[in-house]
Structure 1
Amino acid sequence: MKKIIKNGTIVTAVDTFKADICIENGTISQIGSQLSYLGAEIIDAKGCYVFPGGIDPHTHLDMPFGGTVTKDDFETGTIAAAFGGTTTIIDFCLTKKGETLQSAIDTWHAKAQAKAVIDYSFHLQIVEMNENVLMELPVVMEQEGITSLKVFMAYKHQFQADDETLFRTLVTAKELGALVMVHAENGDVIDFLVKKALQEGNTEPIFHALTRPPQAEGEATGRAAILTELAGSQLYVVHVSCAEAAEKIANARRKGIDIWGETCPQYLVLDQSYLEKPNFEGAKYVWSPPLREKWNQEVLWNALKSGELQTIGSDQCSFDFNGQKDLGKGDFSKIPNGGPIIEDRVSILFSEGVVKDRISLNQFVDLTSTRAAKLFGLYPKKGTIAVGADADIVIFNPTVERIISGKAHHMAVDYNPFEGMKVTGEPVSVLSRGEFVIRNKKFVGKAGAGMYLKRAKYGNSQVNNEMKTIKL
């Protein structure tokens, strides 16, 4: 059925204006003030903002890690995402040495296709760069529309790749039109510091942070930037947590290196002291990179405002406190790394960013949706409100206040890291390709309704070419 959203204030990355939106066959067919209501379902958005659906470029759903598996799968995780105003996620497809890339991709398709309630795509991990990978990569990029490659510089003996693999991935990505993503921490140094801490009897959760110092993140970020410059390639640094890493990205961009930076809500509002909570409660806040000293928060906010960091991911990677996080009692290195963030990503950025005047309303849309769509080959079908775009729309009440609570959230995990935090603004209704997933704060979607998205190559569109030459 034709739908018309009326009386709302439309907000994109560049404009804010009053208009009605007509939705037909899953896409936006008209935007204006005198649309024909004949035969249409009318959706009243009075008093609300109308945003393009959020795009979360960093999730880990149904992912094996640390002897267990993340608690949220593609059903519970995408339901929670939708409640939070996200209509597209890009999850990380993990690979193994000696196995084909396609087999890993098939595994991730099987995890998602009957469960996702919103649209999704995959990044592809690279653990080795040999002749087999070089032969297969162009094929899977073409067939699967996967145009972003992830390399870990940390998690030694598990995910970490060496510098040769990273450099060869950068060179290959330049040739194939892919964006290389890095988890930038010096895994060798961290491995030494972890072993030293445990030998000295330091086993509590706070030592997770103390053995992953900000210098290790800054060094790896700078090294990855230099290798990107040497390869003439392009780089996206995930989950930037500290001043040291943000500064390396800013300096590289000033040199003209094609580098982009993502941070996450947890680094903007939580700090290292949370890992010191008694009774092992600090384990709830163990993820990598770790939370930093509080002063880093304003550095990250300023980097978002100035454009030195460009996106907000959740790094959703949820584990129950009871039965999963407690695997690390007596040894912080065995605490599964990750937290439940996907549902609160958009609301926290609005409340702490827009309401507190740290970023503009249009910057908020760019950070939560538009820039990720452009970087990862989804724009203009995703990431904006425009004629011809998918009708991925969030009707958002900007004035309502609520308290974040694990008892009220929709993630499958048994705690919320933002417990007790007061936020202003929340999604009321969420549409994916013109169909309600959330209606009046109730789930009305369907498992398996989410579509897999094939994405355009990096740098082959006018949008990306413009972005390369305009360094904000």
Structure 2
Amino acid sequence: MGLLIKGGKIVNADASVIADVYCEDGVIKQIGTDLDVPSDAEVVDAAGKLVMPGGIDPHTHMQLPFMGTVASEDFYTGTAAALAGGTTMIIDFVIPDPQQPLMEAYETWMGWASRSVADYSFHVAVTWWDDSVYEDMGKLVNEHGVNSFKHFMAYKNAIMAEDETLVNSFNRCLELGAMPTVHAENGELVYHLQKKLLAAGLTGPEAHPLSRPTEVEGEAANRAIRIAQSLGVPLYLVHVSCQEAVDEIARARHEGQRVYGEVLAGHLELDDSVYRNEDWGAAAAHVMSPPFRPKKHQAVLWSALQGGTLQTTATDHCCFCAEQKAAGKDDFTKIPNGTAGVEDRLMILWDSGVNQGRLTENEFVSVASTNAAKIFNIYPRKGCVAVGSDADLVIWDANKEHLISAKTHHQNIDFNIFEGRTVKGAPDTTISQGKVVYANGELNVVEGAGNYVQRPAFPTIFDAVQKYNELHQPKGVER
């Protein structure tokens, strides 16, 4: 049975128009007025509301084994929470242990993700290097539709990628037409500062941001960008949190380099005062990396998002409950890093973005969905309301007020970093694969209904980069 969405205002990244939308077999089949649809089609009244492409969160960690524990949110609960917040697709991360074959880790994550109720895809982390990693990257791109590889420049003695690994992996990405992405923090500096702070008797959550100052992120961002520039490969920086990193991205883009930046809803809204809360548990609940920054950086991040220096928004959704956070009670370096937000992102962005005049409704769609679809090469299948696109949609009520709280959210965590905030603008109905999965405050999801989305390599972007390199390198010099 098909689904007819009547009377809504369709909002895409490029334009808005009042029209009906007819979906069938998981795809948008018709858009317009007075549509000829089957008489038994389910009808959803969207009058006075906005019909937008479902959100795409390009940075989540469901069921992640990390720092001696496992994230409390699995792929079933996590994708269900995403749908309740209007996000219809996540891109999660396969993170192999050092020396673990990439394909082995990929198969493990695919098994976990089979419980997803919404569509999903994967970035794959490169945490070490040898010939087998080189070969597995080729298999992942050519056989499994993985077109992005993650590199942690932090977490020394765990998953940190040394410069040699970055160079080898970035170069392999260039060969394959894949996008290298980085977590930009200087792991050596973080490790040094952590030991120094512990030696000085600073063991609580307040030491976490002190061990990861903004200079640590700025240095790593610059280093990754310069490596990518030297090799002639595009680059995507995840969870950009401070002016130093924004400045490096802006400089590179000004010089014609293809560098993309992502910002988290949390970094746009919260500052480092959360770590000085007298309640140890509340302070620890905010421990993530990079940490929340001094307030001045929030204005920089918003300006960068408005001006196009940053293109996407995400959550880095990685849930650890109070009992798990307590592992670091006497040593802040042992507090599992991670916060939630996959359910809250769109509401926070709308309330602080559109309602405050920072974003138009079309720009909201860009940073919440369309830009991620374009950067990771799944547009126009995802990220727009168009005939032939997947019927992943959110019907948005711009006047609906919603109180964010751990008592009522669907995320499998006992804390919410936006606790107590009332937002104006929230999902009325979420549609996944042409089916209503959230309406009237209730979820109606099926375990395993989510599809794995393959993302092709990037011949267009990479051809342009290679042509630029050929035209602008000095004569007689081989790159």
Number of the residue aligned with 2:314: 313
- TM-score, length-normalised on structure 2? 0.95
Partner Cα distance (2:176, 2:144) in 1: 14
Number of the residue aligned with 2:404: 404
Aligned length: 465
Which stretch of structure 1 is more off in the superposition, 32-41 or 402-411? 32-41
Tell me the CA shift for residue 327 of structure 1: 1.0
Query: Deviation string for 1:85-115 (max 9, x for gaps)?
Result: 11010100011233321111110011111x1
Q: Which amino acid aligns with 1:110?
A: G
Tell me the CA shift for residue 5 of structure 1: 0.4
Partner Cα distance (2:243, 2:217) in 1: 10
Q: Which amino acid aligns with 1:282?
A: A
Partner Cα distance (2:393, 2:333) in 1: 41
Partner Cα distance (2:245, 2:317) in 1: 21
Query: Deviation string for 1:321-348 (max 9, x for gaps)?
Result: 2x11111111111110000111101110
Number of the residue aligned with 2:303: 302
Q: Which amino acid aligns with 1:105?
A: Y
Q: Secondary structure at the match of 1:77?
A: helix
Q: Secondary structure at the match of 2:150?
A: strand
Tell me the CA shift for residue 284 of structure 1: 1.0
Q: Which amino acid aligns with 1:45?
A: A
Partner Cα distance (1:461, 1:390) in 2: 23
Does structure 1 retain, via aligned residues, the 8 Å contact 2:59–2:316?
A: yes
Residue 117, structure 1, aligned to residue 100, structure 2:
no
User: 1:465 and 1:13, CA in 2 relative to 1: closer, same or farther beyond 3 A?
Assistant: farther
Number of the residue aligned with 2:379: 379
Partner Cα distance (1:128, 1:11) in 2: 43
Does structure 1 retain, via aligned residues, the 8 Å contact 2:98–2:158?
A: no
Matches within 5 A, 1:23-62: 23-39=23-39, 40-62=41-63
Q: Which amino acid aligns with 2:105?
A: A
Matches within 5 A, 1:176-187: 176-187=176-187
Tell me the CA shift for residue 129 of structure 1: 2.6
Tell me the CA shift for residue 246 of structure 1: 0.7
Structure 1 ranges of 4+ moved more than 6 A:
none
Query: Deviation string for 1:53-98 (max 9, x for gaps)?
Result: 1100000000011111101000110010000111010100011233
Q: Which amino acid aligns with 1:77?
A: G
Q: Secondary structure at the match of 2:129?
A: coil
Query: Deviation string for 1:352-392 (max 9, x for gaps)?
Result: 00110111111110111011111112111111000000000
Residue 204, structure 1, aligned to residue 210, structure 2:
no
Number of the residue aligned with 1:285: 286
RMSD after superposition = 1.5
Does structure 2 retain, via aligned residues, the 8 Å contact 1:427–1:441?
A: no
Q: Secondary structure at the match of 1:359?
A: coil
Number of the residue aligned with 1:136: 136
Partner Cα distance (1:235, 1:186) in 2: 17
Q: Secondary structure at the match of 1:218?
A: helix
Matches within 5 A, 1:263-282: 263-280=263-280, 281-282=282-283
Q: Which amino acid aligns with 1:351?
A: D
Which stretch of structure 1 is more off in the superposition, 86-95 or 128-137? 128-137
Matches within 5 A, 1:423-438: 423-438=423-438
Does structure 2 retain, via aligned residues, the 8 Å contact 1:53–1:88?
A: yes
Query: Deviation string for 1:256-298 (max 9, x for gaps)?
Result: 1111000001011100001100120210110000000011111
Number of the residue aligned with 1:65: 66
Tell me the CA shift for residue 314 of structure 1: 0.8
User: 1:465 and 1:53, CA in 2 relative to 1: closer, same or farther beyond 3 A?
Assistant: farther
Which stretch of structure 1 is more off in the superposition, 22-31 or 302-311? 22-31
Number of the residue aligned with 1:356: 356
Partner Cα distance (1:184, 1:204) in 2: 24
Query: Deviation string for 1:420-458 (max 9, x for gaps)?
Result: 112111111111110121122211111100011111112
Q: Secondary structure at the match of 2:58?
A: strand
Tell me the CA shift for residue 461 of structure 1: 6.9
Does structure 2 retain, via aligned residues, the 8 Å contact 1:390–1:433?
A: yes
Number of the residue aligned with 1:21: 21
Partner Cα distance (2:79, 2:25) in 1: 22
Q: Which amino acid aligns with 2:401?
A: E
Q: Secondary structure at the match of 2:98?
A: coil
Does structure 2 retain, via aligned residues, the 8 Å contact 1:170–1:234?
A: no
Number of the residue aligned with 2:193: 193
Matches within 5 A, 1:210-359: 210-280=210-280, 281-321=282-322, 323-359=323-359
Tell me the CA shift for residue 234 of structure 1: 1.1
Tell me the CA shift for residue 160 of structure 1: 0.5
Q: Secondary structure at the match of 2:382?
A: coil
Number of the residue aligned with 1:87: 88
Tell me the CA shift for residue 11 of structure 1: 0.4
Q: Secondary structure at the match of 1:293?
A: coil
Q: Which amino acid aligns with 1:283?
A: A
Partner Cα distance (2:168, 2:307) in 1: 32
Tell me the CA shift for residue 37 of structure 1: 4.2
Number of the residue aligned with 2:126: 126
User: 1:348 and 1:465, CA in 2 relative to 1: closer, same or farther beyond 3 A?
Assistant: farther
Does structure 1 retain, via aligned residues, the 8 Å contact 2:141–2:456?
A: no
Q: Secondary structure at the match of 1:261?
A: strand
Partner Cα distance (1:67, 1:311) in 2: 30
Residue 155, structure 1, aligned to residue 155, structure 2:
yes
Query: Deviation string for 1:34-63 (max 9, x for gaps)?
Result: 212441221100111111011000000000
Query: Deviation string for 1:218-239 (max 9, x for gaps)?
Result: 1100111100100100110000
User: 1:410 and 1:190, CA in 2 relative to 1: closer, same or farther beyond 3 A?
Assistant: same
Q: Secondary structure at the match of 1:149?
A: strand
Which stretch of structure 1 is more off in the superposition, 90-99 or 386-395? 90-99
Q: Which amino acid aligns with 1:305?
A: Q
